[in-house]
A and B are shown apart, each in its own frame.
Chain A
Amino acid sequence: MKENIFPAIRLTVICLLFFSGIYTLIVWGVAQFSTNAGKGEIIKQDNKIYYANVGQKFTNDNYFYSRPSAVAYNAAGAGGSNKGPSNPDYLKDVQARIDTFLVHNPGINKSDIPSDLVTASGSGLDPHISVQAANVQVKRIAKIRGIAEGNLQQLIISNTEKPLLGFLGTERINLLKLNIALDNLK
């Protein structure tokens, strides 16, 4: 044991310098050449800065709604609800979200509401919603904003992100981009 202690301490210090120091500096150095110098991809709109990958809370009726979030979309401390599938309180919450949605979206069939719109994401910052989740809100937004439903459907189509290379993963909509485009429609 004794003959190992000092080599072990010295080796640990060198590893610390190499893996915490040099490795980090190399990656940080390369980051200076990436989009926005590794500070996160941003979208500029009306002189304001938003993060493209970080979801925002949309609860007003004149925007497409975001998914529910356990942390109210505050990226200071992200997290999911961690509710189990059989938890009765959780199921009551989901039922309440469905009821609220129906109140705000008259004339919509319950069976057209996709579950992503009434369940919280893992991070609480999900930047996306499904295409169905956007379509089911067209009627409400058309009425409030006085835009033809066809124009909104066109907007959804042009903001739909296809699966990677066309055959890998999900089809989805970046909600922030969609709502910015919605504001720009006027």
Chain B
Amino acid sequence: MNTEITGIILMYAAVVAMAIPLGKYIGKVFSNEKTWLDKIFNPADKVFFKLSGINPLKEMNWKQHLVALLTINLIWFLLCMFVLMNMSWLPLNPDSNASMSADLAFNTSISFISNTNLQHYSGETGMSYLGQLVVMLFQFISAGCGIAIAAVVFFAMKETTAGKLGNFYFLFVRSCTRILFPIALVVSILLLFNGVPMTFDGKDPITNLQGDTVQISRGPVAAFVAIKQIGTNGGGFFGPNSAHPLENPSYFTNIIETISLFLIPIAMVFALGYVLKRRKLAWTIFSVMTIGFLLLLIPTVINEMNGNPAIAKMGIAQPMGSMEGKEVRFGSAASAYWAINTTVTSNGSVNAMHDSLTPLSGMNALLGMMVNCFYGGVGVGFLNFYIFIILAVFISGLMVGRTPEFLGKKIEAREMKIAMIIALLHPLLILAGTAIASYLYAHSPVAYAGWLNNPGYHGFSEMLYEFTSSSANNGSGFEGLGDNTPFWNIACGIVMLLARFLPIIGPVSIAGILANKKYIPESAGTLKTDTATFGLMVFAVIAIVAALSFFPALVLGPIAEYFSIY
């Protein structure tokens, strides 16, 4: 068999094999059960809580959880703005990089607190090492925040919670110290010993073998890359992210980074099964997500390995497939695999340039973000899926003429209204944003000429991708887009902000409302939610919502481009 294909099969098998035990471990961490890391982290957590004056055992209801989450995120935003706008005079700046402008700092700060990590700057020139270390903090805590809030929803789904949903700070600190930190440490050390730098020295000027003088950017890369992959963050140390040979030097590091990218999103599904003691429900959800993932993955791998037809017409060979924007050490298959992994999970790191993907691969990357719940980001991916479950329960309930119930709780008008608002928010942000950008560009193409790196349908895709990535809190980009302008910085900043916090507030309030309702024991008349039929129903709801909302935009972009070159 082709060694590129065996590579991606191994990566998937390995990640599932690791995610199942990790899911159980995460479930134990949430439920405060004993784990083998307690010896180290029980004292560590005590220090965290004591120094911050928090009583981690104080129970919170869903509203208190949301207030705590939003307050701490506001603090993070202010801290990030301060550092990014003052980097030039703060320490750890060996390359004397400048501070950010206000609009770029606004975009970057929201980008990092919202776990998007969209980057309108380039790491080598736009960040000091202090800036990098501070945004690295957000890669931990924004991910920890997402995991903590998913745990709250898990608790709310239990049969008898009586409104007790744990303590936000308790869940948040444990997610950071016991889940993200140990994995990041192991991954960073593995990367370190395989060629990823970890130094505070600045750029190194060298003369090449052929005599050209160049500079080599370095930095504390290994620590940064590990958490960027683990926390579905995706903000790269260097401009080209994990395509950069110092950020991802070999096929082996690529395997480690790809597995890291996918690990916690899958493990969260199994954590749900553990917390609720409903393993079958977890497997049903996992199956729906996996089918969706494979439907996006397989055509993408085939398209990339077949190459670009416009180049085939020139009469040269494409033994490695479409190689524009790709690295030889990864090849087309592993690049296509990463592209779909990173878009379905809201990670947003890249190991090949998405702008140069063949049209249908670009479309599948877009679809991964439009659906945004085939595994999804750490924590929040499940929240998105939860909305689709609620919709599917309601629709199936109507179809068979029964009161819609989910896990013994009646779904009524109020929950449905919230679910619909959240389900429609994502298309609204993407399509309205793209429409405004297209209008501006179409009406003054000269003034905005710097925006697009490619003409025609592909140019439209660049704008569509940017808003989709912002709204999915993904952070990858069709990087040809000239996006460091006040319009893109502010527009994407607002989209990321709304798309992060409303889809947290919505599902948490639904789950909180449901938790306070009376539990109706299962009977013969109950709609079973852990069956293949229900799985199919959820899949249909996802497909219809995504397809109907986004199909017209996809036709104008990638599909039109496809027909122009095939």
Question: Does B associate with A?
Answer: yes
Q: Which residues of B contact A79 (CB under 8 A)?
A: 122, 239-240, 479
A132 at the interface (CB under 8 A from B): yes
Q: Give the distance in Å from the alpha carbon of A121 to the alpha carbon of B378 in the complex.
A: 30
* A54 x B125 contact (CB < 8 A): no
Closest chain-A Cβ to B211's Cβ sits at a distance in Å of 9
Q: Looking across the interface, which residue of chain B has its beta carbon closest to that of A75?
A: B216
**Min C-beta distance of B549 to chain A, whole Å:** 24
Interface residue? A148 (CB, 8 A): no
Point out the residues of chain A lying under 8 angstroms from B315, CB to CB: 110-111
Q: Closest CB of chain A to B436's CB: distance in Å? A: 22
Which residues of chain A are within 8 angstroms of B133 by Cβ–Cβ distance? Answer: 20, 24
The answer, among A26, A116, A126, for a CB contact under 8 Å with B245, is A126
Q: Does residue A103 face the partner (Cβ distance < 8 Å to B)?
A: no
Q: Does A106 contact B (CB under 8 A)?
A: no
Chain A residues, Cβ within 8 Å of B318: 114-115
Contact B240 A10 (CB under 8 A): no
Query: Which residue of chain A lies nearest to B312 when distances are taken between CB atoms in the complex?
Result: A115
Q: Is B206 an interface residue (CB 8 A)?
A: yes
B1 to chain A, nearest CB (A): 8
Q: Which of B75, B76, B185, B316 contacts A114 (CB 8 A)?
A: B316
Interface members, chain A 46-74 (any B CB < 8 Å): 48-60, 63, 67, 72-74
Is there contact, CB below 8 Å, between A56 and B454? no
Confirm or deny: B174 has a beta carbon within 8 angstroms of a beta carbon on chain A.
Answer: no
> Which residues in B have their C-beta under 8 angstroms from that of A80?
240, 243, 324-325, 353, 355-356, 479
Tell me, in angstroms, the Cα distance from A81 to B462 when the chains sit together. 14
B446 contacts the other chain (Cβ, under 8 Å)?
no
Stretch at the interface among B21-29, B246-254, B390-398: B246-254
Pair A38/B561 contact, Cβ less than 8 Å: no
Q: Are B141 and A75 in contact, CB atoms less than 8 angstroms apart? A: no
| A9 CB, min distance to chain B CBs, angstroms | 6
Chain A's closest residue to B64 (CB) is A4
> Restricting to B41-75, which residues have a CB under 8 Å from any CB of A?
47-48, 51-54, 67-68, 71-72, 75
Interface residues of B in 306-344 (CB under 8 A from A): 307-308, 310-311, 314-331, 334
**B215–A74 contact, CB under 8 A?**
yes
Q: Is the CB of B71 within 8 A of A5?
A: yes
**Residue in contact with A170 in the complex, picked from B212, B308, B331, B351, CB distance below 8 Å:** B331
B350: Cβ under 8 A from any A Cβ: yes
A14 adjacent to B185 (CB under 8 Å): no
> Within the assembled complex, what's the spacing in Å between the Cα atoms of A86 and B324?
12
**Does B198 have its Cβ within 8 Å of any Cβ on chain A?**
yes
| A residues near B10, Cβ cutoff 8 Å | 168
CB distance from A43 to the nearest CB of B (A): 10
Q: Which chain B residue lies CB-closest to A24?
A: B223
Q: Using A10-B53, A80-B240 as known contacts, say yes or no to A95 and B479 having CB atoms under 8 A apart.
A: no
Whether A86 contacts B244 in the complex (CB less than 8 A), given A110-B315, A170-B331, comes out as no
User: Cβ of A125 < 8 Å from any Cβ of B?
Assistant: yes
CA distance A78 to B315 in the complex (A): 30
Q: Is the CB of B317 within 8 A of A115?
A: yes
Once the chains bind, are A8 and B75 in contact (CB under 8 Å)?
A: yes
The minimal Cβ–Cβ distance linking A172 to chain B, given in whole angstroms, is 5
Contact of A83 among B67, B169, B453, B456 (CB under 8 A): B453
Q: Is B480 an interface residue (CB 8 A)?
A: yes
Chain A hits for B4, CB < 8 A: 169-170
Chain A residues whose C-beta falls within 8 Å of the C-beta of B250 in the assembled complex: 53, 164
Interface positions of A from 93 to 144, Cβ below 8 Å from B: 94-95, 98, 110-116, 118-130, 132
List the A residue with the shortest CB-CB distance to B316.
A113
Q: Within residues 5 to 58 of chain A, which ones have a CB less than 8 A from any CB in chain B?
A: 5-12, 14-16, 18-20, 23-24, 26-28, 30-31, 34-35, 37-41, 45, 48-58
Chain B contacts for A14, CB-based, 8 A: 47-48, 51-52
How far is A72 from B215 in the complex, measured between Cα atoms in Å?
Answer: 11
Of B186-194, B404-412, B503-511, B523-531, the one with at least 4 CB within 8 A of chain A: B186-194
Contact B134 A41 (CB under 8 A): no
- Say yes or no: A7 contacts B359, CB within 8 Å: no
Query: Which residues of chain A are within 8 angstroms of B252 by Cβ–Cβ distance?
Result: 164
**A20 surroundings in chain B (CB, below 8 A):** 133-134, 136-137
Q: Which residues of chain A come closer than 8 Å to B203, judged between CB atoms?
A: 76
Residue in contact with A122 in the complex, picked from B47, B184, B240, CB distance below 8 Å: B240
Residues of B within 8 A of A120 (CB): 324-325
- Interface flag for B565 (CB, 8 Å): yes
- Contacts of A77 on B, CB cut-off 8 Å? 122, 124-125, 217, 239
Contact of B457 among A39, A86, A118 (CB under 8 A): A86
Q: Judge whether B207 is part of the interface by a CB distance below 8 angstroms.
A: yes
Contact yes or no, B3 A168, CB < 8 A: yes
A40 to B216, CA, bound (A): 10
B325 shortest CB reach to chain A, Å = 5
Interface mask (A157-186 → B, CB under 8 Å = 1, otherwise 0): 000000110111111100010011001000
Task: Kindly state whether residue B492 has any CB partner on chain A within 8 Å.
Answer: no
Which residues of B377-392 are within 8 A (CB) of A? none
Verify A57–B75 contact, CB threshold 8 A.
no
User: Which A residues touch B185, using CB under 8 A?
Assistant: 23, 26-27
Q: Is B195 an interface residue (CB 8 A)?
A: yes
Contact indicator A27/B317 (Cβ below 8 Å): no
Contact status A168-B220, CB under 8 Å: no
B residues near A48, Cβ cutoff 8 Å: 206-207, 209
Contact partners of A38 in chain B: CB under 8 A: 192, 197-199, 222
CB of A154 within 8 Å of the partner chain: no
Q: Which residues of B contact A18 (CB under 8 A)?
A: 48, 177
Query: With A19-B181, A20-B133, A168-B255 in contact, do A119 and B323 touch (Cβ < 8 Å)?
Result: yes
In the docked arrangement, what's the CA distance between A125 and B203, Å? 15
Set of chain B residues within 8 Å of A130, measured between Cβ atoms: 319-320, 328
Contact B328 A129 (CB under 8 A): yes
What are 6 A-B pairs at a CB distance below 8 A?
A39-B201, A56-B208, A75-B246, A77-B124, A86-B458, A114-B319
Given contacts A74-B214, A164-B255, 6 further A-B contacts (CB under 8 A): A11-B54, A15-B137, A19-B140, A84-B454, A90-B454, A169-B251
Q: Which 8 A-B pairs have the closest CB atoms?
A: A122-B243, A82-B480, A84-B458, A31-B198, A38-B198, A10-B52, A128-B328, A169-B251
